[in-house]
Amino acid sequence: MGRIFEVRKSTMFARWDRMAKQFTRIGKDIAIAVKAAGPDPDNNPALRRCIVNAKAVNMPKDRVDAAIKRALGKDKTDYEEVVYEGYAPHGIAIMVDTATDNTTRTVANVRMHFNKCGGSLGNSGSVGFMFNRVGEFKVKNAGQNLEELELELIDFGLEEIGEDSEGNIIIRAAFTEFGNMSKALEDKGLEVISSELKRIPANLVELSEDQAKEVLELVDRLEQDDDVQAVFHNLK
């Protein structure tokens, strides 16, 4: 029983760690959204997106409300969104989205992660041209006809539509059309499970299993950093 219990405990703690990281990330997103456009989700599309994503990871409503209140309080923390670019081992391009209240700390930590894993932090624009920024929406599939839905959404910036392994509808829109697509999905009464801004690589690079492990070690280190919101790469 001892070994099985330890394995289960380790899995449970890992799940809690991931959940805590997700809550922290969404809390920062809420703070940024509230600062930009106020605390009313009806008039703040970015805040609505945060609330939807909070539900997707089972973040309690009281924690969401508390994050909104903190963003309005006197002791609120101002977060700056900063993007870092670089290369992982074997030439894999990496983009790191951060939200930080201390850019000196963040850049030092990000550089340390790259260096420890055999990568290198680059200058702004060094790999950004390899990625397309899009808005990605995960929508509950309630029997919609994808071809009809595609025609209905083209005028709102639709770039791609398909299904994931769980049968949910995945919709990608141009970054500049994120707000229009979000409103269109709301107006059509579609249940949005989550919505994110993503960086999609134009081309993927395939590596051996051992080489890929080296890249993913860097990705994992970056994702565990408290200031990091998301990590994107072009590893196949």
Is 155 buried (19+), middle (13-18) or exposed (0-12) by CB count in 10 A?
exposed
The side-by-side arrangement of strands in the sheet containing 228-233 is 120-121, 80-87, 93-100, 228-233
Question: Rounded distance, CA 90 to CA 118, Å?
Answer: 9
Question: Rounded distance, CA 82 to CA 64, Å?
Answer: 23
- Joined tokens for residue 37: 């456009």
pTM: 0.88
| Contact of 110 with 98, CB cutoff 8 Å | yes
Three-state DSSP class for 235?
Answer: strand
| Contact of 219 with 77, CB cutoff 8 Å | no
Please name which of 166, 149, 167, 100 lies closest in space to residue 158, comparing C-alpha atoms: 149
| Contact of 46 with 37, CB cutoff 8 Å | yes
Q: Rounded to the nearest 10 degrees, how much is the dihedral formed by the CA atoms of 110, 112, 118, 119? A: 30
pLDDT tens-place values along the chain, 236 residues long:
334 334 343 434 444 467 788 999 999 999 999 999 999 998 998 999 999 999 999 999 999 999 999 999 877 789 999 999 999 999 999 999 999 999 999 999 999 999 999 999 999 999 999 999 999 999 999 999 999 999 999 999 999 999 999 999 999 999 999 989 999 999 999 999 999 999 999 999 999 999 999 999 999 999 999 999 999 999 99
Residue 208 backbone phi and psi in degrees, to 5? -70, 165
The answer as to CATH 3.40.50.1000 being correct for domain 79-235 is no
Bridge partners, residue 80, by sequence? 100
Question: Rounded distance, CA 142 to CA 188, Å?
Answer: 12
Distances (CA, A) of 1 to 4, 10, 50, 202: 5, 14, 41, 48
Beta strands at 158-163 and 169-174: parallel, antiparallel or unpaired: antiparallel
Top CATH class of 3-72 equals mainly alpha
**Domain boundaries, given as residue ranges, for the chain:** 3-72, 79-235
